[in-house]
Amino acid sequence: MKIVRKISKEFLDSTRISLPSARIQNKVAKIVSDVANRGDEALLEYTKRFDKVLLTPKQLKVSEAEISAAYQGVDPKMVAHFRAIFENIRAFYKKQLQKSWKVKDKDGALVGEKIVPLDRVGVYVPGGQAPLVSSVYMAVIPAKVAGVKEIYIASPPDKEGRINPYILVVANLLKVSGIFKMGGAQAIAAFAYGTKAIPKVDKIVGPGNQYVTEAKRQVFGIADIDLLAGPSEVVIVANQHTPAEYVVADLKAQAEHVGGTAILLTSSKRLAKYVRKALPKLKGYIMVVSNLDGAIEIANRIAPEHLQIMVKSPQRYLKSVKNTGAVFLGEYTPTALGDYVAGPSHILPTGGTAKMFSGLSLDDFTKRIHLISYGKRALERVRCPVQAIASIEGLQEHLNSVKVRK
């Protein structure tokens, strides 16, 4: 790890999301266009090219037989673990539930909001050597609690045309509407535009590589998306009382994420030297600060995905935290808890975007429909200001639409 003495442009740039190269943008644009125009034919061609497996349109959807077989490859004890984790996540998101509302004033003017869940959501789940099983329940459960009726999973198949059994089991336990063998930019395009085999969805959520993220960016507007996620990152705030082995373990855990960045902000020179010696090759930075208040100020400028305040009285500093996807308080709260079991989704803003974005919430799966209802008396009360503004804007027919109602 590299010791830095100030927040330089290089330091901040290392934690910021940047657009992919023109080559990647163009490659993704071609894939998205092909799937939009040729549907399943293009989707299957790209599946053969990138996933090295030849499928038919009918084979894109995981069958009931495949799901049943998946249970044979899963430790039965894990099913009980999954169910316990699901309850933690449901309990958290049930606290976010909001009701439709309306109010009426003395003249009878009514305004309000109707909260409506999205109809269809697509969840992208990366496969590969480390399939992100937790991403299934971290995306599906909030959507379920919000009231989304149709939830579909996309995950890339292996060379035998199979999806990781744990992904299938978790998706089945959560009663998703369908699971599809497709990955990469082509999966995002298929969800956004729909094909004969793949339903068009209203929103696409879930993490992915730079091709998946770029595809989400390009289809935004055709479908909604959760966020543009970059590599994972953690900022750890620690002092001389923080167990050094905890800090090292959590920094090493961050290094398991491809391209992940780890940053230690500490008021202890001794801890800084220890960590640097223990992790000389780890991608990340160590900064020695004069006090912990200064560390929180720096963390707010970085706006990390994960912020760990690993000191004895972390609540003291919480009021100063403004920019992070999730904050982990105390020495016994590693980010792994947030990744897997605590309750809040691990789908969080990265690359400094925590300054303006939040982690996945029920708001991501609902719409707010504004309600307005005026009677004659209520209209009369606002007739003059409405007509005045319409006149200023030069919209004569807006003005007339009020005048005609006598």
Residues identified as active-site = 305-306
Token pair of 308 as six digits: 């760990």
- Using the CB atoms, write b or e for 242-272: b if 16+ within 10 Å: beeebbbebbebbbebeebbbbbbbbbeebb
Q: 10 Å Cβ neighbour count for 220? A: 13
Q: Where are the alpha helices (DSSP H) in 95-183?
A: 133-146, 165-173
| Cβ proximity of 189 and 226 under 8 Å | no
What is each CA distance from 210 to 107, 172, 231, 381, in whole angstroms?
Answer: 55, 28, 9, 55
Counted residue by residue, the chain has a size of 406
**Strand pairing report for 306-310 and 233-238:** parallel
User: In whole angstroms, how large is the CA radius of gyration of the chain?
Assistant: 25
Residue 180 φ/ψ, nearest 5 degrees: -120, 140
Residues 123, 201: Cα–Cα separation, whole Å = 10
Angle at which helix 184-193 crosses helix 210-219, to 10 degrees, equals 20
Q: Where are the alpha helices (DSSP H) in 177-231?
A: 184-193, 210-219
The maximal CA–CA distance of the chain, rounded, in angstroms, is 81
Give, as one character, the DSSP assignment of residue 355. G
Residues 68, 317: Cα–Cα separation, whole Å = 49
What is each CA distance from 23 to 28, 202, 217, 305, 325, in whole angstroms?
Answer: 9, 28, 15, 27, 30
